[in-house]
Amino acid sequence: MIANPTIPTSAGAVSGGVRTLMRLEGAALFFGPSLFYLISDAPWELYALLFFAPDLGLLGYLIGPRTGAITYNALHSTIGPLLLAAAGVILLWPSAGPIALIWLAHIGFDRVFGFGLKYAAGFKLTHLGRLGRDMGNSHSD
């Protein structure tokens, strides 16, 4: 039987048109919140300062791949910034909105470049496929 190259051999990783669509969604997730941030009159220094803050989740990999995946995913899921934005509205905390927009933009930026949510099996294994030289191919080595 001949293997179908469009079916990912990495469990849980998307491929082909679905991967392209998810990366385009990442672009929308980057540009949309960035545009809203632009028109919010929030300071661009804050955007520059906090844009890569979610990557602090990578520090979990110093403990191990499972902890790293948990900490990275906690800061790279859209749940966190959406909850922050909702809490900001409910609690009348005006700073929450701009911070949530920066956080969402960062998540979108990462997704555009193939940095998806991580699996505990290893840093390079994401829901968007394997990172590295074979990033465009979700097939395992």
pLDDT in tens, 86-103: 999 999 999 999 999 999
Higher pLDDT, 67 or 122: 67
Question: Residue 25 belongs to what H/E stretch?
Answer: helix 16-39
What's the pLDDT band for 9 if we cut at 50, 70, 90? very low
**Does some domain include residue 141?**
no
Give the count of domains, the chain: 1
Higher pLDDT, 4 or 47: 47
**Does some domain include residue 77?**
yes
Q: What range does the domain containing 42 cover?
A: 16-130
Helical H runs in 40-95? 44-50, 65-76, 79-90
**Does some domain include residue 3?**
no
pLDDT score for 14: 67
**Does some domain include residue 2?**
no
Q: Which residues contact 70 (CB under 8 A, 6 or more apart)?
A: 60, 120
Mean pLDDT of the chain: 86
pLDDT score for 16: 76
Q: How crowded is the C-beta side of 83, counted as CA atoms within 13 Å?
A: 6
pTM: 0.82
**For residue 14, which of 127, 124, 132, 97 has the smallest C-alpha distance?**
127
